[in-house]
A and B are shown apart, each in its own frame.
Chain A
Amino acid sequence: MKRKKKISLPAHYLLMILTVLCVGGIVVSMTTNFTAVPLNYVTGYLFVPIQKAINQVGQAITSQTDHFASLKEVQEKNAELKKQVDELTVENSALAQEKYELRRLRKLYDLDESYADYDKIAARVIGNDAGNWFNHFMIDKGTEDGISVDMNVISDSGLVGIVIETGKNWATVRSIIDDASNISSMMLDSSDRCIVSGNLKLMNEEGMIEFSELKLQEGKKIEIGEKVVTSHISDKYLQGILIGYVTEIGEDENKLTYSGTITPVVDFEHLQEVLVITDLKQNKETKEEEEDDTSDKGGNG
C-alpha cells in the first residue's frame, strides 16, 4: 500500500504550530477575561439541543435503576421521613415566630435584603463534566437569558455553585463540592467566619465538604448541625445562602482556629433543575459601597 502524495506539512511541524496555538490560548485565557466567544456560539448550537435530548434518556436510565430500590428500603425511608415531617412541623412553627421577629428587627436595621428578593432564572441541568476529577455541570440557559460568569447558582434548598463559563444558550457551573471550590462563609448563628472548600476525597468517601480557618468568638461553641451560610465578605457569593450543616468539628493544631466537615444541603447526585441568581455581588456592592464603608466589621485581626 503506497501513501498518497500530497502537499502537506510534516506532522512534527503541525504539532509545533498547534502547540503554539494552545500555549497562546492558555496564556491569553489565564491573563485576560477572554473566552472563546465565537467557538462558544457555534458549539452551543451544535451540541446543546442534542445534549438536552440525550440527557433525558440518561435520566430515564437513572430513574429506572432507582426503581430497583427494594420495598423495604422505601418503607424504612417512609417511616423516617414521617418522623422528620413531625420534627420539621415543630421547627417550622418555631421558625415562623422567629420570622416575625426577624422582620421586625430587619426593619429596625433597615436590612431589607435576603435571598428571596433576588432575581432568579430556572435552568435545567443538561450535562456533567466529562471525567472523574471535577464537579462541573452544564445548564441550558446562557447569555441570551441574561446569565453571566460569577452568578450564584442555587437549588430549592441551598447553594449549588457558581457560573464559570457561558455560551449563548448554555453555561457551565462549578459546584461547591468541586475540589477547587473555595467559599468565604460563616456560621449562621454567630457570624463566625470560615472557608468552605470542596474536597474530592471527602466527597467520594463520605459525601461531605470541609471547612477550615473558623475563628470563634471567645466562649462560643459550635454545635453539630449548625447552619453554614455564605458570608458578607465573600466577593462572589451573595450573603446568607445556605451551604450545609456542620457534621464534625475539631480544634486545629494552632489552637486558634477550628476546622471540620459540612454536609451540603443540596443533593448533587440527583440535581436536575437549578436556579441562577442574576444579581451579581459585585454590582450590588458598587451600589452600596458608599453606605457600606463604615459598617464593615473589623474582626480581630
Chain B
Amino acid sequence: MKRKLFVGLLVAVCFILQNTIMNSLALASIEPNLLIIITASYGFMRGRKSGMWVGFFSGLLLDVFYGGTLGAYTALYMYIGYFNGFFRKVFYPEEVRLPMVLIALSDLIYSLAVYLGSFLLRGKFEFFYYFIRIILPEMIYTLVVSIPLYWLVLHVNTSFEKSENRRR
C-alpha cells in the first residue's frame, strides 16, 4: 500500500514538474522527459505489471490534460513500461549501464512514436532534422536527469523491498 502511494505521488510530482519548472530548465527549448524515466525504471525494477501501471497513469494524465485523443499517450507509455518489464530478469541494482540504456531506448521509442503518430502522418517528412534537433537532445537530457531521479527511485524501492522482506 505504502509503495503504491509513493508511486502515485511520484507520477503526480513528475507530471507537475514536467509542466511547470521543466520549462524554465529547458535547454535550447528541449526539456527532459521525467515520466519516461519513472515508467521505464518501474518496468525493469519491478516487472511488467508495475511498469504497465505506472505507464498507464502517466500517459493518462498527459491524455487528459494535453492529448486530445484519450488513450494515445496512455497506450504508448503503458507499452513502454510493459516491455521494460522483460528486463527485470537481467536487472541488478548495482549495475548502472542497463538502466541507462533502457531509459535512453525508451525515450527514443517514445519520441519516434510521437513523430510517426503526429508529424509523419501530417506529411512532415524531414525526419533527420527532427532527429538531430529534438529526439537526440531530448534523449541526452533525459539521460542526464535520469541519474538523480533513477537513483532516488532505486533507493526508495530497495528500502521498500527490505522492509517487506523483514515482515515476511
Contacts and interface: CB of A to CB of B under 8 A. Distances in A.
Contacts of A200: 119, 124, 130, 134
A147 to B, nearest CB: 15
Q: For the complex, would chain B's binding face be called helix, strand, loop or mixed by DSSP majority? A: helix
Q: Sort A-B residue pairs by CB-CB distance and give the 3 closest, nearest first.
A: A25-B71, A127-B19, A22-B75
15 contacts: A15-B78, A21-B71, A29-B68, A29-B70, A36-B63, A36-B70, A47-B12, A54-B17, A54-B21, A59-B24, A62-B24, A129-B66, A132-B134, A180-B122, A201-B133
B30 A165 contact: no
Interface of B: 12, 15-25, 29-31, 33, 35, 47-49, 52, 56, 60-66, 68-72, 74-75, 78-79, 82, 85, 111, 114-115, 118-119, 122, 124, 126, 129-130, 133-134, 138, 165
B20 to A, nearest CB: 4
A65 B129 CA distance: 29
Given A55-B20, A58-B24, A130-B35, 16 more contacts: A11-B82, A15-B48, A18-B78, A21-B71, A22-B74, A24-B71, A26-B72, A39-B60, A43-B61, A57-B20, A130-B18, A133-B111, A133-B118, A170-B65, A200-B124, A200-B130
Contacts of B72: 22, 26
Q: For the complex, would chain A's binding face be called helix, strand, loop or mixed by DSSP majority? A: helix
Interface of A: 1, 11-12, 14-15, 18-19, 21-26, 28-30, 34-36, 39-40, 43, 46-47, 50-51, 54-55, 57-59, 61-62, 65, 126-134, 136, 138, 164-165, 167, 170, 172, 179-180, 200-201, 204
